[in-house]
Amino acid sequence: MEKILLNFNKTFDFISKDSIFVYKQEIEKHNAALHDKTGKGNDFLGWTNLPSSITDAELADIEATASKIRSKKIDLFVVIGIGGSYLGAKAVIDALSDSFVAMKNTGNPLVVFAGQNIGEDYLYELRELLREKEYAMAVISKSGTTTEPALAFRLLKQDIEDKYGKEEAKERIIAITDAKRGALKTLATSEGYKTYVIPDDVGGRYSVLTPVGLVAIAIAGFDIRTLVKGAVDMEAVTGKNVPFEENIAAQYAAVRNELYRNGKLVEIFVNYNPKLHFLAEWWKQLYGESEGKEGKGIFPASVDFTSDLHSMGQYIQEGERKLFETVISVGAPDQEVVIPTDKDNLDGLNFLAGKRVDEVNKMAELGTMIAHVDGGVPNIQIVMPKLNEYFLGQLIYFFEIACGMSGYVLGVNPFDQPGVEAYKKNMFALLEKPGYEEATKAIKARL
């Protein structure tokens, strides 16, 4: 099996190699606790063996749903969800899609998102677009009670029913939610939508390899079997009996914690391929929501290089020395673009003639890495041989299992998110939701 590679040699100016191996016993214990489901938050550890337990029948069912929806000749597929209920699908679809998919006829439906914000203009403009297009939708919420997607679905449900009639609308709506609880489950059962269950023991940000991510990815035209296969293979090589020396996820967890303990409080997720922008958003949620609690946690940030070298590059090179970078380096691009010779050479670029654009990108990556290390920013590199379903599947599981181990090293429960409730409580109080009368009075007194 060819696998993604982890290279942390460029952290050794800041932390010693020996200091990483000090974590061996502790992290092997944490990895076992994750797989045995005995660690903190163990009622949310269903994702640790999820890839290897997905059945052929489950994948076939998702593929059949995707074919049925695609056979309706839809232009757009709307995914309604927020946080873990949208970022995984968005990350994978963007990574695998043509950069100009929205403007080209690829033969695949374009996947668009709703309920991931409460922007009124966004919703207005989406509804306006949907009036002119053929579409179907998935509404995704594990809890089934999240305000943002519920609000978007209330509007879009009415629109789709008005456009296609109630019966055909039912054929175009998929609900993905908890097995028993939540308003969305009640609604889906009463309307008779095709429904997928999010396993009880899989939290939102660990759910991309459940129907939460797989349905939209399949509808977008990508190969969910190969995506899952990548994750299955990564599950095997990061399993509980794999020693620290061979377990790249365990090593990543150790390196980032050692950097953190040495004052590197911010981890910047770097890509040199714009298709990976949303992989960074997915990763930020995974690590931010899992580790940022009890006054602790590395702050996860991200940049798109080389674009952001012309905006954030200055800070990274010379600002506060609290940063380290984790760079996703993609081996070879899918397409080839060779730089031509120009007889006048007025732009002075003939020294690049005959080279591929990717060669320039790779030299930018190498040059930046050396400059940033020289400037005091340790560098972790993760190499993906190709940007495809298989290596994305590996990468997803790699980051998930590493996050579990890393959170345990930090001493937190990586599978809850109590802090997310604070804004909701205030928002409901301000909106005078029934049951919030006291909170409404209290918050209004503070305005």
Give the catalytic positions in this structure: 289, 310, 424
Which stretch, 1-9, 56-64, 76-84, 321-329, contacts ligand PA5 (CB under 6 A)? 76-84
Q: Does position 413 bind ligand PA5 by CB under 6 A? A: no
Give min distance, CB of 143 to ligand PA5, in A: 3
Nearer to ligand PA5, 108 or 141 (CB): 141
Give min distance, CB of 191 to ligand PA5, in A: 18
User: Are the beta carbons of 362 and 416 closer than 8 angstroms?
Assistant: no
Place of tokens 């997905």: 54
Exactly one of 42, 143, 226, 440 binds ligand PA5 (CB under 6 A); which one?
143
Q: Does position 300 bind ligand PA5 by CB under 6 A? A: no
Nearer to ligand PA5, 41 or 84 (CB): 84
Q: Does position 160 bind ligand PA5 by CB under 6 A? A: no
Exactly one of 10, 142, 194, 264 binds ligand PA5 (CB under 6 A); which one?
142
Exactly one of 41, 83, 199, 393 binds ligand PA5 (CB under 6 A); which one?
83
Which stretch, 105-113, 122-130, 141-149, 364-372, contacts ligand PA5 (CB under 6 A)? 141-149
Distance CA 165, CA 434 (A): 33
User: Are the beta carbons of 392 and 92 closer than 8 angstroms?
Assistant: yes
Exactly one of 39, 51, 84, 109 binds ligand PA5 (CB under 6 A); which one?
84
Nearer to ligand PA5, 183 or 430 (CB): 183
Q: Does position 325 bind ligand PA5 by CB under 6 A? A: no
Measuring CA to CA, which residue among 308, 311, 289, 326 is closest to residue 407? Answer: 289
Nearer to ligand PA5, 23 or 153 (CB): 153
Q: Does position 417 bind ligand PA5 by CB under 6 A? A: yes
Nearer to ligand PA5, 82 or 91 (CB): 82
Give min distance, CB of 318 to ligand PA5, in A: 34
**Total binding residues toward ligand PA5, as defined by CB under 6 A:** 14
Nearer to ligand PA5, 32 or 428 (CB): 428
Q: Does position 80 bind ligand PA5 by CB under 6 A? A: no
Nearer to ligand PA5, 198 or 253 (CB): 198
**Orientation of helix 56-70 relative to helix 211-219, angle to 10°:** 40
* Residues between 21 and 40 with contacts to ligand PA5, criterion CB under 6 A: none
Residue nearest to ligand PA5 (CB): 204
Which stretch, 51-59, 116-124, 135-143, 387-395, contacts ligand PA5 (CB under 6 A)? 135-143
Distance CA 329, CA 352 (A): 22
Which stretch, 142-150, 228-236, 338-346, 402-410, contacts ligand PA5 (CB under 6 A)? 142-150
Exactly one of 94, 233, 289, 325 binds ligand PA5 (CB under 6 A); which one?
289
Exactly one of 31, 108, 141, 388 binds ligand PA5 (CB under 6 A); which one?
141
Contact letters for ligand PA5, residues 196-235 (x by CB under 6 A): -------xxx------------------------------
Torsion angle of C-alpha atoms 284, 289, 293, 299, degrees rounded to 10: 0
Q: Does position 90 bind ligand PA5 by CB under 6 A? A: no
Give min distance, CB of 217 to ligand PA5, in A: 17
Within 10 angstroms of residue 29's Cβ, the number of other Cβ atoms is: 14
Give min distance, CB of 141 to ligand PA5, in A: 3
- Residue 144 backbone zone (phi > 0: left; psi -120 to 50: alpha; other: beta): left
Q: How far is CA 310 from the centre of its chain?
A: 25
Distance CA 420, CA 289 (A): 9
Q: Does position 116 bind ligand PA5 by CB under 6 A? A: no
Interacting residues toward ligand PA5 by CB under 6 A: 82-85, 141-143, 146, 149, 203-205, 289, 417
